[in-house]
With several copies, the nearest count.
Chain A
Amino acid sequence: MPQDAETERESLFEAPPMAEQERMVEAILFATSEPISARELDARLPHGCDAAEALVHLRRRYEGRGVSLARIGDGYALRTAPDLGYLMQRETVEIRKLSRAAIETLAIIAYHQPVTRAEIEEIRGVSVSRGTVDQLLEMEWIRFGRRKMTPGRPVTFVVTDTFLGHFGLETARDLPGLRELRAAGLLDSRLPPMSMPGAKSEDDEDELPLKDGDQSELFEE
Chain B
Amino acid sequence: MADDWAEAPGAVAERLAAEALIVDVDGFEGPLDLLLTLSRTQKVDLRKISILNLARQYLEFVEKARQLRLELAADYLVMAAWLAFLKSRLLLPPDPEEEGPSGEEMAAHLAFQLERLQAMRDVAARLMARDQLGRDFFVRGQPETVTRTRKVTYTATLLDLMQGYARTRTRDEFRPYAMDREAIFSLEQALDRMRGLIGFAGEWTDISAYLPEGFGTDPARRRSAAASTFAASLELAKEGRIELRQSEAFAPIELRRRG
Contacts and interface: CB of A to CB of B under 8 A. Distances in A.
Q: Do A and B bind each other?
A: yes
A32 B143 contact: yes
A221 interface: yes
A85 B143 CA distance: 13
Contacts, number: 285
Interface in A151-186: 165-169, 175-178, 181-182, 184, 186
A104 B120 contact: yes
Interface stretch (A13-21, A55-63, A72-80): A72-80
Nearest to B163: A186
Contacts of B151: 91-94
A107 B175 CA distance: 22
A105 B100 CA distance: 31
A96 interface: yes
Contacts of B259: none
Contacts of B154: 95-98, 102, 135, 139
A193 B175 CA distance: 11
Interface string A22-40: 0000010011111000000
Contacts of B74: 210, 214-215, 218
A167 B74 CA distance: 38
B162 A175 contact: yes
Contact of A196 (B33, B106, B127): B106
Contacts of A77: 139, 142
Most A Cβ at <10 Å: residue of B77, B124, B162, B178: B162
Nearest to B102: A193
Contact of B138 (A88, A96, A126): A88
B204 to A, nearest CB: 39
Interface stretch (B6-14, B110-118, B220-228): B110-118
B1 interface: no
A98 B115 CA distance: 23
A177 B122 contact: yes
A188 B164 CA distance: 10
A93 B134 contact: yes
A64 B218 CA distance: 89
B29 A100 contact: yes
A135 B161 CA distance: 16
B85 to A, nearest CB: 8
14 contacts: A85-B131, A85-B138, A89-B148, A90-B148, A92-B149, A98-B154, A107-B165, A123-B169, A165-B133, A167-B133, A184-B115, A187-B166, A196-B110, A218-B74
Interface of A: 2, 27, 30-34, 77-82, 85, 88-98, 100-104, 106-108, 110-111, 122-126, 135, 139, 165-169, 175-178, 181-182, 184, 186-198, 210, 214-215, 218-219, 221
